[in-house]
């Protein structure tokens, strides 16, 4: 760890000292987490789960955010990947999640269009619109906040379904607008300002509405959203200590 980061973490640790929140990754506790995210009128207007600027979400010590803690808890509490042999494809991963899934039972393949950013995982170059693996290669696929960046999202969904084994599942998280029935998409937009206004971020090519689930079903998945509060993964006090967003589901997509 760099010296300046060590100093920063010690300083912030003193400022935020307390026991109200706890990070599932590093085990540190604080009176609250840091604020984090992109300030966007579109995210606020459409009540976007998994996106936008949020208070009390980023761990002071390790930098994990609510959506990465959500997925780690999901795999720990709602799946058997740490108990049985699992071939897992992780697409352009969040590094906290990727590190949390390093286990004797898990063979984790990291696929990305930017392998230089993930060298510690021995990544393979991968365009998810054309995945260079045979049918039914993986038990689990994780694609967290990637599909909203992809030009042909429906092709990407079909490819993920193709390489998934029968009986397996994919976790396909996106910023999801809960107050929007139909996905907003406009390929004529050229500037960062226009894309941020319409989609919430300059590097997004669409903002998904509730028809996201229809798109996934069309690709062949059986979609079962899993919410930690609704489905009581843990007691509510423990969930609140992780500072999770109650409106964000894990979007679990099964291949039957």
pLDDT at position 6: 67
Q: Which residues contact 140 (CB under 8 A, 6 or more apart)?
A: 79, 81, 86, 87, 88, 89, 164, 168, 169, 170, 171
Q: Tens of pLDDT along the chain (256 residues)?
A: 455 666 767 787 788 889 999 999 999 999 999 999 999 999 999 999 999 999 999 998 999 999 999 999 999 999 999 999 999 999 999 999 999 999 999 999 999 999 999 999 999 999 999 999 999 999 999 999 999 999 999 999 999 999 999 999 999 999 999 999 999 999 888 898 999 999 999 999 999 999 999 999 999 999 999 999 999 999 989 999 999 999 999 999 999 9
In the CATH hierarchy, which fold is given to the domain comprising 65-254?
Answer: Rossmann fold (3.40.50)
pLDDT at position 49: 97
Using the CB atoms, write b or e for 208-224: b if 16+ within 10 Å.
bbeebbebbeebbbebe
Using the CB atoms, write b or e for 75-104: b if 16+ within 10 Å.
beeeeebeeeebebbbbbbbbbbbbbbeee
pLDDT at position 10: 74
pLDDT at position 2: 56
- pTM recorded for the entire structure: 0.94
pLDDT at position 15: 84
Closest CA to 89 of 30, 133, 129: 133
């Amino acid at each position: 760890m760099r010296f300046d980061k060590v100093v920063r973490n010690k300083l912030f640790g003193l400022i935020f000292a307390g026991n109200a929140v706890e990070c599932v990754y590093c085990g540190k506790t604080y009176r609250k987490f840091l604020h984090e995210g992109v300030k966007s009128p579109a995210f606020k207007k459409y009540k976007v789960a998994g996106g936008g600027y949020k208070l009390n979400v980023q761990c002071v010590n390790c930098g994990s955010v609510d959506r990465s803690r959500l997925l780690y808890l999901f795999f720990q509490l709602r799946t058997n990947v740490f108990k049985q042999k699992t071939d897992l494809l992780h697409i352009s991963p969040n590094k906290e999640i990727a590190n949390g899934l390093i286990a004797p039972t898990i063979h984790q393949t990291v696929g990305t269009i930017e392998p230089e950013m993930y060298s510690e995982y021995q990544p393979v170059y991968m365009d998810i619109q054309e995945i260079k693996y045979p049918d039914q290669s993986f038990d689990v696929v994780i694609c967290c906040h990637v599909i909203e960046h992809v030009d042909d999202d429906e092709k990407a969904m079909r490819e993920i379904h193709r390489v998934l084994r029968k009986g397996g599942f994919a976790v396909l998280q996106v910023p999801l607008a809960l107050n929007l029935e139909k996905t907003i998409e406009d390929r004529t937009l050229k500037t960062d300002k226009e894309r941020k206004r319409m989609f919430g971020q300059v590097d997004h090519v669409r903002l998904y509405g509730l028809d996201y689930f229809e798109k996934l079903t069309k690709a062949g998945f059986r979609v079962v959203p899993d919410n930690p509060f609704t489905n009581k993964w843990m007691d509510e006090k423990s969930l609140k200590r992780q500072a999770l967003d109650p409106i964000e589901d894990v979007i679990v997509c099964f291949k039957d």
